[in-house]
Structure 1
């Protein structure tokens, strides 16, 4: 299977590769020679994809045998790279915004790379709570390699994120043995239970308003307002999601303002109003401005 997806306006494969390949120990895809290799699971069907880019299109090849339909692959890649979103409104807003207009010439074409699977997005958000990114990636790799399935291809092993059913079979002691805290182990196992019993649905959450979705997500064990907004950005694709309590976001604003103190909640609320409808992309570009520091997940 060989597929081409036309590249939309305001898209840079180079900037998206930066987001995906920031030097962390990522276990769910591999980047080599500007090609992305990722094992994907869609409605129970699995495949290993290779993604590359020409000047005008993303090129996708399915490297392993299987019955995954071409349309499902296209939908997955479109969603992962947020390719179908018209960003003209955001670029017009940013051009006239004192903060964002400092960033656009540097990072034009960056897209909000997603986490398509809601269970994975929530688990990753829980893993990253109150620890540095290096350790968060270490925990994720330990979880994935212990409980996830995989594809072997040309001497390399490509992992799938564990399903709720796979993680439901784990015990708290299993997670403690791979350096999860007791609290995070409890959160992850409760999430697995909720998803294994189909008590939450991504498509239903996407039909709600952001505030309604945040309330629903916040009923889950271990999911607070920051985590709910982060998942709303990267998985549910609410463009008005704004994790204003995020330290990286606040540091980026402080730096661009040339201040010693972080912005206050009142200032953040005012910025959110300025960026109405595009808070998620404003957050993404502010995170990008941290560059080598990469404080955001």
Structure 2
């Protein structure tokens, strides 16, 4: 186990992140403690190991985020596995991945200034203080979710994803609880039949695992590309259309400044929040023009708008199709 620390730049609340995860169906997150510790288990960006992390946030020292991290190697499905030292595994890469998951790799010190000229953003920041996007563990896992959840209810997709993790991922103990990590690409490429999942989707998952191992779902690479180029690249992957490409770039790679042009529920939330009542109010190009004022945090404001809409709609909204 290795202790790491990340000091947020700008407002950040781990408690807000945990509350968000509890309502984020793909995460399937349920906390059985006092709500102070975030427990995570996920495939590392290296494609072959699994990370478990116990994450907390100090109430002083600028809210430093502290994590006890273990990197697991060996065959999945065993309670005890080998671990690698920080030196041999490259703990800096694991730290960077954890920071990306919590959007702590982005300097958020300028985010509150968006409220100065936009009353809608001001209201969102006030309603959800310190909330930043909590991302999928990797673009690879976001892509897998997109394939599993295509045209099915989110609760059904989440159950299938959880079964895949239970049967094919590592089982690890984190702060007194057992968690199942989603399988690494090396394991997923050998995936067989999955109850409830058509063979077409299973084959797409295998191909996405190959793509991840080939570097086609590398988060740093995707974020370094111009947004349109990154989205075009993602759309070349099996089972990934325009909506899923945006999901992978924003919530998988953690890109902080992308306006989702294909997320209709976000657009509806914008129309409501900004009081746009005319027939062209939901035009994506017009809404993108409004979102230009959110730069360089377009993804962050979009998340708050979506969170606001789901809070108003109630828990039933979370079980709908991902489309």
TM-score normalised by structure 1 residue count: 0.84
Q: For residues 27 and 105 of structure 1, do their structure 2 counterparts lie closer, same or farther at Cα, with a shift above 3 Å needed? A: closer
One of 39, 43, 55 as aligned partner of 1:51: 55
Q: For residues 267 and 99 of structure 1, do their structure 2 counterparts lie closer, same or farther at Cα, with a shift above 3 Å needed? A: farther
Q: Please name the residue that 1:283 is paired with.
A: 302
Q: Please name the residue that 1:192 is paired with.
A: 209
Q: For residues 78 and 6 of structure 1, do their structure 2 counterparts lie closer, same or farther at Cα, with a shift above 3 Å needed? A: same
1:73: how far off?
Answer: 4.3
One of 127, 133, 136 as aligned partner of 2:154: 133
Of 106-115 and 42-51, more deviation after overlay is shown by 42-51
Distance 1:148 1:86 in 2: 33
Q: For residues 258 and 57 of structure 1, do their structure 2 counterparts lie closer, same or farther at Cα, with a shift above 3 Å needed? A: same
Of 129-138 and 106-115, more deviation after overlay is shown by 129-138
1:162: how far off?
Answer: 1.1
Q: Please name the residue that 1:233 is paired with.
A: 250
Gaps of 5+ in 1: none
Distance 1:60 1:38 in 2: 10
SS at match of 2:256: coil
Contact 1:119 1:191 in 2 (8 A): yes
One of 271, 275, 279 as aligned partner of 1:254: 271
Contact 1:164 1:195 in 2 (8 A): yes
Distance 2:125 2:165 in 1: 36
Contact 1:127 1:139 in 2 (8 A): yes
Distance 2:19 2:244 in 1: 23
One of 117, 137, 143 as aligned partner of 2:164: 143
Contact 1:79 1:114 in 2 (8 A): yes
Gaps of 5+ in 2: 72-81
Q: For residues 199 and 14 of structure 1, do their structure 2 counterparts lie closer, same or farther at Cα, with a shift above 3 Å needed? A: closer
Q: Please name the residue that 1:165 is paired with.
A: 186
Q: For residues 27 and 144 of structure 1, do their structure 2 counterparts lie closer, same or farther at Cα, with a shift above 3 Å needed? A: farther
Contact 1:28 1:158 in 2 (8 A): no
- The question of 1:86 aligning with 2:103 is answered no
Q: For residues 273 and 8 of structure 1, do their structure 2 counterparts lie closer, same or farther at Cα, with a shift above 3 Å needed? A: closer
Contact 2:5 2:66 in 1 (8 A): yes
Superimposed CA distance per residue, residues 17-58 of structure 1 (whole angstroms, 9 cap, x where no aligned partner): 111122748457856322122224433444432112221322
- The question of 1:13 aligning with 2:14 is answered yes
Q: For residues 179 and 95 of structure 1, do their structure 2 counterparts lie closer, same or farther at Cα, with a shift above 3 Å needed? A: farther
Distance 1:193 1:78 in 2: 25
Contact 2:51 2:70 in 1 (8 A): yes
Distance 1:48 1:200 in 2: 21
TM-score normalised by structure 2 residue count: 0.78
1:153: how far off?
Answer: 6.2
Contact 2:54 2:175 in 1 (8 A): no
1:7: how far off?
Answer: 4.1
Distance 1:87 1:240 in 2: 12
Q: For residues 208 and 252 of structure 1, do their structure 2 counterparts lie closer, same or farther at Cα, with a shift above 3 Å needed? A: same
Q: For residues 48 and 105 of structure 1, do their structure 2 counterparts lie closer, same or farther at Cα, with a shift above 3 Å needed? A: same
Q: For residues 94 and 181 of structure 1, do their structure 2 counterparts lie closer, same or farther at Cα, with a shift above 3 Å needed? A: farther
Distance 2:14 2:265 in 1: 24
Q: Please name the residue that 1:273 is paired with.
A: 292
